[in-house]
Amino acid sequence: MGSKTPEDHQQTPDASNSGGLKPANPDPKASKNGSGSADLDQGIVSDEDDDDDDNAKGEARMNIASNADKKKKRKRSKKKKTKHGSLTATELKQTNPPRVLLSSLFPVEYPKGELIPYENLSRETDEENRYNSRLWDPDFLPDYRQAAEIHRQVRHYAQKELIKPGASLLSIAEGIEDSVRALSGHPGLEPGDGLKASLGFPTGLCRNHETAHYTPNPGDKEVLLDKNDVLKVDFGVHINGRIVDSAFTIAFDHKYDNLLAAVKAATNTGIQHAGVDARMKEIGAAIQEVMESYEVELDGKLYPVKAIRSLTGHNILRYHIHGDKQVPFVKNNSSQKMEEGDVFAIETFGSTGKGYTRDDGNAVYGYGRNENVSAANLRLASAKSLLKTIDANFGTIVFNRRYLERLGVKSYHLGMRHLIDQGIIEQYGQLADIKGSYTAQFEHTILLHSGGKEVISRGDDY
């Protein structure tokens, strides 16, 4: 989720023509390929030799083989029941649409993200740094990895089944959101349930020059996806307030390939330069250099791809999608730097337009609770009642009108206006570049461990 600064060919997120759905890293013990033999121990990425583990696995395979004949002689067990509760975890498979609880698919541990050791290996070998770096509580990594795997499975479903020419944006948003709630096991219809696990913010579905912060809302005119559209899909998943924020762009026409490739390469450049002690001004300069090395030809005219300077990446705090640090996509004079234990959303936006966005006034994206403003002096009864519902169901998680009406809340407009006027609730609008331009976005959440970074939301799609 971007932070503002002080039947045709389908272009898939990996910038390739793909006809099938790629697996979402089904092996919970298999890491991505960011670091040959990288592993993690309570926030430390390690490159230790795995020979002993391999030998143990080899012996285990031999034992299994030697017992195979014995098992064949045993009496056959009764036919397995078809209900999920009657199957072992390894026999369970995700359904379409995704509705199998993720904890049932991964009863031991959730898949790791892409593990990348820092180039400065002294952080791995210095004993003091190794053992003073465990900044996270024991639930931190399981929560984040569960949220990331939910994101991967849901977006794969969306890419394959939901996002097609002619589909309504409302059906895409609800398909994503219903799947996230199902996999987390928290429908969010009872007070407090949505604070345990749910969406990290409303699903963003922005077309073409619309850059960030549009989601379908009650009363909106139905919007259908066109085969000429460039669609940015930005959604978040949280488990116990640990938010995974990741986004991708889909187009159905080859002519947008270079635009998507530019932004994807820029985001990966940001990830490459991120790490403990990395400075925002250096990351921003590297991102801009890569992104603006691309051009895209549209209908016979050549357009430079511009890094959007009015949006930034950002750190993520518990139950807060935007923290106090920003990662610009352009050269800047920021004195901020990344620190061990930080969680960042590394995202970039590229445009064929001006490279600058404004609130176009056409739509309200959502609302967020300002916890620094007291509600003690509220007098309007409707505002008090609405705030009680917001605090019980969302806390500081960003929400929208659809989410309120899903809870059965009615006649809330006057109360909401009063809360906004008092500064208790902040309102977020849609952001867009100039009409006629096209924008793209790619985004990943990364965790900064002591010995390396984990691209927690990395998948086989992007």
Catalytic residue numbers read: 234, 245, 314, 322, 347, 443
Question: Which residue, 234, 229, 418, 207, is CA-closest to 321?
Answer: 234
Question: Which residue, 459, 259, 244, 283, is CA-closest to 349?
Answer: 259
Helix/strand/coil percent split, the chain, to 5:
30, 25, 45
Q: Which DSSP category does 161 fall into?
A: I
For strands 242-251 and 358-369, give the pairing.
Answer: unpaired
Cα–Cα distance for residue pair 27/263, rounded to 1 Å = 29
| Half-sphere exposure for 383 (CA within 13 Å, toward CB) | 19
Cα–Cα distance for residue pair 290/272, rounded to 1 Å = 12
Cα–Cα distance for residue pair 199/203, rounded to 1 Å = 8
424 three-class SS: coil
Q: For tokens 């049932």, name the residue.
A: 104
Cα of first residue to Cα of last residue in the chain, in angstroms, is 17
Q: For tokens 């499975």, name the residue.
A: 153
Contact yes or no for 170/214 (Cβ under 8 A): no
Q: Which residues lie below 8 Å from residue 141, measured CB to CB, with a gap of 6+? A: 40, 42, 43, 447
Which sign, positive or negative, has the C-alpha torsion 33, 38, 44, 47?
negative
Strands (E), 185-225: 197-207, 210-212
55 three-class SS: helix
Q: How far is CA 357 from CA 82, 221, 285, 312, in A?
A: 52, 23, 19, 12
